[in-house]
Structure 1
Amino acid sequence: MLGPFNRRGRSKPMGEINVVPFIDVMLVLLVIFMITAPMLTQGVKVDLPQVASEPIEDTENKDPIIVSVDRDGQYFIALGGDETQVSLEEISDRVIILLERNPGTPVMVRGDRNVAYGQIVTLMSTLQVAGVENVGLISEPPPSDGQG
């Protein structure tokens, strides 16, 4: 007697999951992320110290090139003691000339605390275009209140 539960002529149900479509989707996502990831990283490269702020030791006895931005957004460039007002477009040319004369001269940025962040980033980008690989940021230590 053959009933509805007879399995003689039928094959057993397969208990496996077909993972090939999942692998295809994952490979497509991997390719998409590999293409878009480099586009997401942008900005100015700055080597930040990984220790508490300590004064920079001048091992090479070279005066740094100091580019300053005052609270009015005016740019100044100084080497040694000479500080002259320049425009943003002139900074790149002057830094290139100074670095050709004295390669390896450190470049520092000193910005007023009231200057917009975007203006400092624009300055650092201009320095990067001029060929400066490492830019230092000048800050003042917080006032000590005697509790330390």
Structure 2
Amino acid sequence: MRRERFDKMNVVPFIDIVLVLLVIVLATASFVTNKTIKIDLPSASTKKEEDKKSIVIAINKEGKYFYNKEELPFDMIQARLNALDPKSDTVSLHTDKLTPFDYFVQVIDVMKAKGFENISIVTK
């Protein structure tokens, strides 16, 4: 049996595979959306890291309420807050600096009535 000498490597199949993988990545990456809430937080002189396990309630400048990035009406926010344990659950409140103060006070009133102990008001 005669062996042929290995002088060069055929890279065409490798290039084909790389191009197919590139097309797959580009096609799927365009469908992935980052679901974020556009809120311009007010500034503060003191800063503390936000607890990653906390429940996030956000209010944007149009007065729309969000519970963990899910837009809900205020009565649903109130129902979900009432279902939480005020002693162990941590709630982070994000409000846009242009949000009318009334929306902020409504959420705080619900948490105060329930007796929440772990509330953080997020600023930048």
Q: TM-score range by the shorter chain?
A: 0.5 to 0.7
Shift of 1:74: 0.3
Q: Is the 8 A contact 2:50 2:122 kept in 1?
A: no
2:119 maps to amino acid = V
1:89 aligns with 2:80: no
Structure 1 or 2, whichever has the larger Rg, is 1
2:113 maps to amino acid = V
- The structure 1 segments of at least 4 consecutive aligned residues displaced by more than 4 Å after TM superposition are none
- Using the size of structure 2 for normalisation, the TM-score is 0.55
Alignment of structure 1 residues 59-74 onto 2, 5 Å: 63-74=53-64
Alignment of structure 1 residues 34-53 onto 2, 5 Å: 53=46
Deviations 1:82-139 (A, max 9, x none): x211111111211233438xx6121111000101112211111122234423421000
SS in 1 for 2:106: helix
- Using the size of structure 1 for normalisation, the TM-score is 0.47
Q: Quick one: higher RCO (CA 8 Å, sep 6+), 1 or 2?
A: 2
Q: Distance in 2 between matches of 1:131 and 1:90?
A: 18
Q: Distance in 1 between matches of 2:48 and 2:92?
A: 13
Across the aligned residues of Structure 1 and Structure 2, the Cα RMSD in angstroms comes to 2.2
Q: Is the 8 A contact 1:92 1:130 kept in 2?
A: no
Which residue is equivalent to 1:108? 92
User: Unaligned stretches of 5+ in structure 2?
Assistant: 1-44
Shift of 1:57: 6.8
Q: Distance in 2 between matches of 1:91 and 1:129?
A: 14
